[in-house]
């Protein structure tokens, strides 16, 4: 009898996370255990959960860091499937060195994240969030909600992958001029490729669509914000770590940056009085990592995740990083 891989899948709702056909597919491919965790799992507990697993399925919600600190205690693990596109929270070099395959979800949320980026642009340009606050009495009634139109403005996209390309399409429908900077020199219809310096200096709105590096430095800091067009708005639906939060607060304080919208929690909101004030003024918008969260994304994501887990369990991996 051939060896059946042992798999452990950890989600917030265990087996009920999946449809019955999806769970059955997993059970045909491997001896699978469905576990649940709604909060980050302590390393010792995680090692105990995965001690017998050959492959595992993990979410950033329950396992926010994947690295050798705990993986080194699990010599049986040979494959990990994550419910995520970005892998900046994973030490991929360590995995490669130890021969552990990593599967992710490269396409499941591109449309939702791109639409969220446009939503952020509209929110910041039309002051939608501040208008809501004024109507509900959260800010003084005299607070200005004067906005600006997207039509005729220049959008600079940093990273022209699946999401960046879709943002370019949506922006064109709003009558925006689109510039892009991409190290792979990818192109898209109606988009002019430029260097980062020209993009920063020429764009009314700069939108980031690039991966962050494992424990890497911020890609947008004081030097980059010093070159950005005066009065520009910065949009970040990628990773919070891409942007130096203190540099953003400083740029907004000086009036060089009109505002910043990030799909995360602004990391110094409780540490810097200027940041707290800018949030109250509507200059800083934070959406708590919800850009990916839609009915369609969940449906696509779970189906692809099951594909990836079955592939790892049967020796035919898919969507490898």
Distance set, CA 260 to CA 27, 65, 274, 285, 314 (Å): 46, 26, 13, 6, 45
166 has a pLDDT exceeding 70? yes
- Looking at the DSSP bridge assignments, the partners of residue 101 are 79
Q: What is the pLDDT of residue 3?
A: 84
Q: What is the pLDDT of residue 287?
A: 98
Comparing CA positions, the residue from 309, 253, 308, 263 lying closest to residue 283 is 253
Q: Is residue 66 part of a domain?
A: yes
Residues 122 and 155 in one domain: yes
Q: Is residue 57 part of a domain?
A: yes
Residues 135 and 215 in one domain: yes
| Average confidence score pLDDT of the chain | 96
Instruction: Give percent of the chain with pLDDT exceeding 90.
Output: 92
Q: What is the pLDDT of residue 235?
A: 98
Q: What is the pLDDT of residue 213?
A: 82
pLDDT tens per residue across span 37-69: 999 999 999 999 999 999 999 999 999 999 999
DSSP 142-171: T-------STT-EEEEE--SHHHHHHHHHH
Sheet containing 232-236: order of strands: 191-193, 177-181, 154-158, 205-208, 232-236, 257-262, 284-286
2 has a pLDDT exceeding 80? no
Cα 13 from Cα 63, distance rounded (Å): 15
Residue 95 CB neighbours (<10 A): 21
* Residue 43 structure tokens: 């390393």
Residues 199 and 79 in one domain: no
Cα 81 from Cα 303, distance rounded (Å): 12
* Residue 86 structure tokens: 């970005």
Q: Is residue 63 part of a domain?
A: yes
Residues 81 and 142 in one domain: no
Residues 261 and 115 in one domain: yes
* Residue 80 structure tokens: 């990990």
Residues 180, 169: contact at Cβ < 8 Å?
Answer: no
* Residue 265 structure tokens: 């929690």
Residues 40 and 101 in one domain: yes
Residue partners of 58: CB distance under 8 A and separation at least 6: 10, 66, 80, 81, 82, 83
CATH code where residue 197 lies:
3.40.50.720
Instruction: Give percent of the chain with pLDDT exceeding 70.
Output: 99
Residues 261 and 302 in one domain: no
Residues 33 and 162 in one domain: no
Residues 115 and 102 in one domain: no
Q: What is the pLDDT of residue 1?
A: 52
Domain coverage including residue 256: 110-286
pLDDT tens per residue across span 128-149: 999 999 999 999 888 999 999 9
Residues 61 and 198 in one domain: no
pLDDT tens per residue across span 209-235: 998 888 888 999 999 999 999 999 999
Q: Is residue 225 part of a domain?
A: yes
Residues 123 and 161 in one domain: yes
Residues 261, 130: contact at Cβ < 8 Å?
Answer: no
pTM of the model: 0.92
Cα 304 from Cα 319, distance rounded (Å): 9
Q: Is residue 153 part of a domain?
A: yes
- Looking at the DSSP bridge assignments, the partners of residue 178 are 155, 191
Domain count for the chain, please give it.
2
pLDDT tens per residue across span 69-125: 999 999 999 999 999 999 999 999 999 999 999 999 999 999 999 999 999 999 999
Residues 166 and 218 in one domain: yes
Q: What is the pLDDT of residue 245?
A: 97
* Residue 38 structure tokens: 């709604």
Cα 313 from Cα 308, distance rounded (Å): 9
Q: Is residue 243 part of a domain?
A: yes
């Amino acid at each position: 009898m051939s060896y059946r891989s042992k798999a452990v899948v950890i989600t917030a709702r265990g087996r009920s996370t999946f449809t019955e056909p999806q769970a059955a597919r997993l059970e045909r491919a491997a001896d699978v255990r469905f576990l649940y965790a709604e909060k980050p799992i302590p390393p010792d507990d995680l090692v105990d959960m995965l001690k017998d697993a050959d492959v595992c399925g993990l979410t950033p919600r329950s396992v926010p860091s994947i690295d050798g600190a705990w993986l080194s205690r699990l010599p049986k693990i040979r494959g990990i499937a994550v419910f995520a596109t970005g892998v900046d929270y994973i030490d991929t070099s360590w995995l490669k060195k130890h021969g552990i395959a990593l599967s992710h979800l490269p396409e499941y949320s591109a449309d939702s994240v791109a639409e969220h980026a446009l939503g952020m642009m509209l929110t910041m340009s039309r002051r939608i969030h501040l208008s809501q606050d004024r109507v509900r009495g959260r800010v003084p009634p005299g607070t200005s909600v004067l906005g600006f139109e997207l039509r005729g403005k220049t959008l600079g996209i940093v990273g022209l992958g699946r999401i960046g390309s879709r943002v370019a399409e949506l922006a064109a429908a709003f009558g925006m001029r689109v510039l892009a900077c991409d190290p792979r020199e990818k192109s898209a219809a109606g988009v002019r490729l430029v260097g980062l310096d020209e993009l920063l200096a020429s764009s009314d709105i700069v939108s980031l669509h690039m991966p962050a590096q494992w424990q890497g430095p911020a890609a947008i800091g004081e030097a980059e914000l010093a070159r950005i067009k005066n009065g520009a708005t910065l949009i970040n639906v990628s990773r919070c770590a891409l942007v130096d939060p203190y540099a953003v607060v400083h740029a907004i304080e000086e009036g060089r940056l009109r505002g910043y919208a990030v799909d995360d929690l602004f990391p110094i909101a409780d540490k810097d009085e200027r940041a707290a004030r800018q949030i109250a003024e509507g200059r800083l918008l934070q959406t708590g990592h919800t850009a990916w969260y839609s009915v369609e994304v969940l449906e696509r994501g779970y189906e692809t995740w099951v594909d990836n887990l079955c592939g790892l369990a049967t020796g035919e991996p898919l969507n490898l990083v």
